[in-house]
Amino acid sequence: MKTFLFIAMAVATLCGSLPIPQAASDSDKLDAALQKMDTAAAGFRSTQADFEWDQYQKVVDETDVKKGTIYFRRAGQQIEMMARVKDPDQYVLYKDGKLQVYQPKIEQLIVHDAGNNRSEMESYLVLGFGGSGQDLKKQFDVTYGGDETVDGVACGKLLLVSKAEKVRNTFAQFILWIDLARGISIQQKFITPQGDYRLAKFSHIRINEKIGNDVFQIKTTGKTQIITH
């Protein structure tokens, strides 16, 4: 009996002297998520994914859902993006500093020149896909919104508020769900000051696979009306 008590006291003393593991703080989790994004950005060449965009309008309390495929790639020092939206068909291309929106059904192509806002626009295009965590901190106040599982994937939820007033006038907050294994965003939410939002969900994500040049081209016809802004 005395031997048992001695062993029990020794174990209790030893356990009492060992440091108690502390749960990672939100600050530590944020740093870990941003470091994962840094690693993914360093090796980024291209990304392809299926998407579902849920566009919610608070005034009418309605959600419009669009589906399609989105492509990103780094071309030299530039970022190119193409989104192919289904039903009705629509193409959204960013290339050479211009954002082009083509609607084949009405034969209309709208071209927006990014101009002096080019670097800013490109940074938003790769938000969660090829953008680094350090660049994110330069443009946003970033906080950790907790751990969440999205479609079976362990994610860190990042809450972003732009440091630029003109951006805050358009989007009050951005939310990114970062895949903690791959350092990329599998879900995003852009929220306006009025309470409208677009929730983007990505699936079948393929990273650094070759994407043909024809993907990043819009094929118009002789009847296409071109509107430039």
SS (H, E, C) the chain: CHHHHHHHHHHHHHHHHCCCCCCCCHHHHHHHHHHHHHHHHHCCCEEEEEEEEEEEECCCCEEEEEEEEEEEEEECCEEEEEEEECCCCEEEEEECCEEEEEEHHHCEEEEEECHHHHHHHHHHHCCCCCCCHHHHHHHEEEEEEEEEEECCEEEEEEEEEECCHHHHCCCCEEEEEEECCCCCEEEEEEECCCCCEEEEEEEEEEECCCCCHHHHCCCCCCCCEEEEC
- The per-residue pLDDT for 23 is 66
CA distance 186 to 228: 33
Supply 47's token pair.
């990304």
pLDDT of residue 22: 56
What is residue 2's predicted lDDT score, i.e. its pLDDT? Answer: 41
**pLDDT band at 9, cuts 50/70/90?**
very low
Indicate the pLDDT class of residue 161, thresholds 50, 70 and 90.
Answer: very high
Give domain limits for the chain: 25-228
Task: Provide the whole-model pTM.
Answer: 0.84
pLDDT at 4 over 80: no
Residue 127: the pLDDT is: 82
A 10 A CB-CB count for 51 gives 19
At residue 13 the predicted structure's pLDDT band, cuts being 50, 70 and 90, is: very low
Give residue 150's pLDDT band: very low, low, confident or very high (50, 70, 90): very high
pLDDT in tens, 73-86: 988 878 899 999 99
Contact between 122 and 79 under an 8 Å Cβ cutoff? The reply is: yes
pLDDT at position 131, please?
Answer: 85
Please check whether the domain covering 25-228 is classified as CATH 2.50.20.10: yes
pLDDT of residue 12: 39
> Of residues 136 and 24, which shows the higher confidence score?
136
Comparing C-alpha atoms, which of 57, 65, 32, 20 is closest to residue 133? 32
Average pLDDT value over all residues in the chain: 88
pLDDT at 174 over 70: yes
- Note the pLDDT tens digit of each residue in 103-122: 999 999 999 998 887 777 77
pLDDT (mean) for 151-167:
94
Dihedral sign computed on CA atoms, order 36, 197, 72, 152:
positive
Task: Give the number of other CB atoms < 10 A from CB of residue 71.
Answer: 19
- For residue 65, CA distances in Å to 54, 158, 197 come to 5, 24, 12
pLDDT of 19 strictly over 60: no
* Alpha carbons 142 and 31: distance in angstroms, whole number: 10
pLDDT of residue 115: 83
